[in-house]
Structure 1
Amino acid sequence: MAEPHAKPLQERSDTLVRFDGVEKTYDGVSIVVKRLDLDIRRGEFLTMLGPSGSGKTTCLMMLAGFETPTAGTILLDGRPIERLPPHKRGIGVVFQNYALFPHMSVADNVGFPLRMRGLGASDKAARVARALDMVQMGKFADRRPAQLSGGQQQRIALARALVFEPALVLMDEPLGALDKQLREHMQIELKHLHERLGVTVVYVTHDQGEALTMSDRIAVFNDGRVQQLGTATEIYERPSNPFVARFIGDNNAIRGQVVDLDAGTCTVSVGQGRELVRASAVPGLSKGAATTLSIRPERLTISPTPATDASAEATVREVIYLGDHIRVRVAALGSDSVEVKLPSSVGSPSSFEPGQRISIGWNTRDCRALPDN
C-alpha cells in the first residue's frame, strides 16, 4: 500500500524550485514582485526575461538568498529556504561582473567554494581540475584573473559555480559585459554545457536573443508579474498579450475592435472601422472589445501570393537596407508605421520608393488578436 505522501514526492522529483505566492517590497508601498507562482523543473534551462525594473533580478536574488521575500514561500527540492542563508542553499551563482578574487589564481578562485566547505586538498584539486576542463580552461589554472580576457573570466566564474556540483545554478546577466560576437559564441557554449551536465539553470537577462537561443522555457516579466511562460516557440509565435508581442522580437501592433468571433478566429475593424481583418483570437476576447493585432514583419510579403490568404493596400513610407534584409515601412491597416521585412535576395532598396502604392499579404494564422490591456 502506497504511503500517503507518495504523490507529493513524485511531484517534487519533477519540480526543483517552486515560488508559491511570493511577493517583494522594499518600502512597503511599491511591490516589486507580485504574487509569483512559478515552478522550475529539474534539469531545465529557464530564463527570466524582462526590462529593467520588471522584477526578474529580484526573483533571482530571493532564490539565491541575497533578498528575503516579503510574503510567500520559496521551495527548493520541496524544502522552504526563505530563512536559509545563501551559503547553506547549495546553489551556484554567476554574476555579470564575475566577482573573481584578483589576488588569487584561477585554480584558487574555482576552489574557493570547496575550501569554504572544508574539502581536503586532494579532493579539492581533483574537482577544480574537472571543473576547469569542463569549461576548457584547464591550462589557465595558474594565471590571475587580470591575465584573462572577458570571455575567459566568464568561463572561470562558471567553473566556480559548478565545482561543488550544485543541483541549481543561477546566472544574472553573465554575458552582459561581453562584445556581441563573443556573447553569441558563449550563448551556444552555455547551451551545450547545460545539455551535457543536465544541471538546472535559472538565467536572468533583458536580451531577447539570448532567451530565444538558450532556453527550454522563458518566463517573460513585466511590472512584477510573469506575463507569459512557455517555450521560445510559444512565446514568439503565440504571444498572449501586447507586451509580450512587443518585447519579444519585432512586431507590428495595430489597434482595432472585435466585430465578430468564431471558433478561434475573429474579425477586427481597423483604421477607424474602414477595413476588416481576420485574425487568430486569443482566449479572453469578446465581441465589441478593443484589441491589438500582432503580426511579425517577416510574416508580411509585398504583393500577395497564392501562399497568403489576406491582403491590404499600402503606401511606402521608407526603405532601410540592413545587409541580409531590407525593411519597408508602409502606411496600411490604419497605421502609418507597418514594417515589412524582406530578405535581400527577394527585394532591394531600389525596388521601392516613398509614396509608391503597393499591396501587402499575410496569412490569417500569423495575425493574432490580443487583449488590449
Structure 2
Amino acid sequence: MADITDPFVRFMDVQKSYDGETLVVKNLQLDIAKGEFLTLLGPSGSGKTTCLMMLAGFESPTHGEIILDGVPISNVPPHKRGIGMVFQNYALFPHMSVAENVGYPLKVRGMGRDEMHRRVRRVLDMVELGHLGGRRPAQLSGGQQQRVALARALVFEPALVLLDEPLGALDKNLREQMQYELKHIHETLGVTMVYVTHDQTEALTMSDRIAVFDDGIIQQLAAPSTLYEEPGNSFVAQFIGENNRLLGTVEAVDGQECRVRADSGDVIHALDVRTTGVGGRTELSLRPERVSINPGAGTTPNILPAEVLEVIYVGDHIRSRMKVCGHDDFIVKVPNWAGHVHLRQGEQVEIGWFASDCRALDA
C-alpha cells in the first residue's frame, strides 16, 4: 500500500448536517492512500454512506473540505471528478447492450470508436464477460449485472472507484466469490477503492484498512487483523466478529494488565486497554476461539467454572453456549480435530484464557 503521509484522498474536519442541527458526520479527519482498498464499515445511520456520497459529489459538506489528489473538490460537480461508481442496484441502462452500457462513460467523453471498443473488450474480459457483450442486462444474472456495473466504473481508467454496498443483492455464495474477484481486480489494477458496507465479513476479507463508523465518528481505523485482534473500544469489539462480554470493576492495575472483579464476584486478569483505573467500571472483551476447555491448574491465569448449555456441530469447529459468571450467552469455539474435548449439554467444566487475550475496555 502507498505511503499514507502523501494521501490521495483527504477529509479535513468534514461535517454534514441535513437539518442544520443534527450532525450525521462529525469532524471527520481521514486520509486515504493512493492504491488503497479502504472500507467504511458501520451500522445503518452511522455516517459511512454520507461520507461516500460527499466524496462522489452527490452531497456537499456542511463544514470542512475534501481533497482529491491535492485539489479541493467541494465545488467540483460529480461528472468532473473522474470517479468511478458502483451502486447496489447496478443502475444499468436496460435498453442498451452490455457493451453499450460499459462503453457509455467513454461515449460521453467523446472517445473515438476504435479506442472505445478496445477498452470495452479489455475491461469485459477482465470481469470474464467478454462473451456476453451483445446481451441486455435483463438477460444476465445478478452477479453478471454486478460485473457489468464494475466494468463500467473501470472502463475510463479512473484513479478512484467508489462502491456503495455493491454485493448486497447477491446470494451468499456469489457474494463471497465476488469479494475475492473484487480484491483480485484491485490488486491487478492498483486503483484506489473506497467501499461501503455493513457486512463485517466482507470488510475483513477485502480491505487494506477498515474505518469503523458509529454515530458519525470513526471509532477505529486499522487493518482487518488489528480491528479483530485489538479492538480499541467496546463498540468495535462487539461490531467486528463474535465477542464475549463480561462487566466488572477494576481492582488493581499492574503495568499493561489489570485485575477485574466481575459482577459475579469472579476475579479476572485482563489487558488494560481502555479503563479509567482502579475503581472504574469496565467491559471485558474475549473472542470465543481464545477460550480453552479444562485447561489444567496453572496453565492460564484465568480459570473459571462453566456450565454447558448448548452444543452445536458447525463442521470445522464445535460451538458451545455456556453459563459463565452468571451470563448464559458465553460462547466457546473449539476446533473439530481428532482428540478434541467432547462436550455434553448440562456438563460442568472449567474454561480458561490468557490475560493477553482478554481486553478491558470502556464500560
Q: Distance in 2 between matches of 1:284 and 1:369?
A: 6
Q: CA deviation at 1:318?
A: 2.3
CA contact (8 A) 1:320 1:349 kept: no
Deviations 1:326-350 (A, max 9, x none): 2222122342321111223368997
3-state secondary structure, aligned to 2:173? helix
Letter matched to residue 287 of structure 1: V
Letter matched to residue 370 of structure 1: L
CA contact (8 A) 2:275 2:360 kept: no
Which residue, out of 210, 227, 235, partners 2:202? 210
Which residue, out of 75, 78, 92, partners 1:100? 92
Aligned to 2:146: 154
Pair 1:286 & 2:277 matched: yes
Pair 1:323 & 2:315 matched: yes
Q: CA deviation at 1:60?
A: 0.4
Aligned to 1:86: 78
Q: Distance in 1 between matches of 2:31 and 2:339?
A: 45
3-state secondary structure, aligned to 1:15? coil
Aligned to 1:276: 267
Q: CA deviation at 1:325?
A: 2.5
Q: CA deviation at 1:27?
A: 1.1
3-state secondary structure, aligned to 2:59? coil
1:15-54 correspondence runs (5 A): 15-54=7-46
Letter matched to residue 332 of structure 2: V
Q: Distance in 1 between matches of 2:348 and 2:319?
A: 16
Question: How many pairs align?
Answer: 361
Q: Distance in 2 between matches of 1:208 and 1:283?
A: 23
Point out the more displaced range, 281-290 or 232-241.
Answer: 281-290
- Per the normalisation by structure 2, the TM-score is 0.95
Point out the more displaced range, 193-202 or 275-284.
Answer: 275-284
Deviations 1:44-69 (A, max 9, x none): 10000011111101100110011111
Q: CA deviation at 1:117?
A: 1.0
Letter matched to residue 357 of structure 1: Q
- Per the normalisation by structure 1, the TM-score is 0.92
CA contact (8 A) 2:233 2:274 kept: no
Q: CA deviation at 1:18?
A: 0.5
CA contact (8 A) 2:293 2:341 kept: no
Aligned to 1:187: 179
Q: Distance in 2 between matches of 1:278 and 1:292?
A: 12
Pair 1:252 & 2:235 matched: no
Q: CA deviation at 1:309?
A: 4.0
Q: CA deviation at 1:284?
A: 5.3
Q: CA deviation at 1:140?
A: 1.1
Aligned to 1:363: 354
Q: Distance in 2 between matches of 1:140 and 1:37?
A: 43
Q: Distance in 1 between matches of 2:97 and 2:341?
A: 54
Pair 1:220 & 2:212 matched: yes
Letter matched to residue 225 of structure 1: I
Q: Distance in 2 between matches of 1:210 and 1:366?
A: 24
Aligned to 2:288: 297
Q: Distance in 1 between matches of 2:361 and 2:5?
A: 36
Aligned to 1:72: 64
Letter matched to residue 297 of structure 1: P
Q: Distance in 2 between matches of 1:223 and 1:349?
A: 42
Aligned to 2:332: 340
Q: Distance in 2 between matches of 1:146 and 1:184?
A: 23
Which residue, out of 54, 65, 74, partners 1:62? 54
Q: Distance in 1 between matches of 2:64 and 2:100?
A: 38
Point out the more displaced range, 343-352 or 255-264.
Answer: 343-352
Which residue, out of 137, 151, 159, partners 1:145? 137
Q: Distance in 2 between matches of 1:288 and 1:244?
A: 24
Q: CA RMSD in A?
A: 1.9
Q: Distance in 2 between matches of 1:14 and 1:129?
A: 34
3-state secondary structure, aligned to 1:128? helix
Q: Distance in 1 between matches of 2:255 and 2:11?
A: 35
Deviations 1:227-277 (A, max 9, x none): 0000001000000111101011100011111111122111111034x2211
Q: Distance in 1 between matches of 2:257 and 2:241?
A: 23
Letter matched to residue 285 of structure 1: T
Q: CA deviation at 1:107?
A: 0.8
Identity of aligned residues (%): 60
Q: Distance in 2 between matches of 1:125 and 1:14?
A: 35
Letter matched to residue 317 of structure 1: L
Letter matched to residue 361 of structure 1: G
Using a 3 Å threshold, how does the CA distance of structure 1 residues 307 and 107 change in structure 2: closer, same or farther?
farther
Deviations 1:5-45 (A, max 9, x none): xxxxx989831111111111111222111111100111010
Using a 3 Å threshold, how does the CA distance of structure 1 residues 346 and 211 change in structure 2: closer, same or farther?
farther
Spell out structure 1 runs of 4+ moving beyond 6 A: 10-13, 346-350
Q: Distance in 2 between matches of 1:244 and 1:285?
A: 18
Aligned to 1:262: 254
Q: Distance in 2 between matches of 1:307 and 1:326?
A: 22
Q: Distance in 2 between matches of 1:72 and 1:205?
A: 24
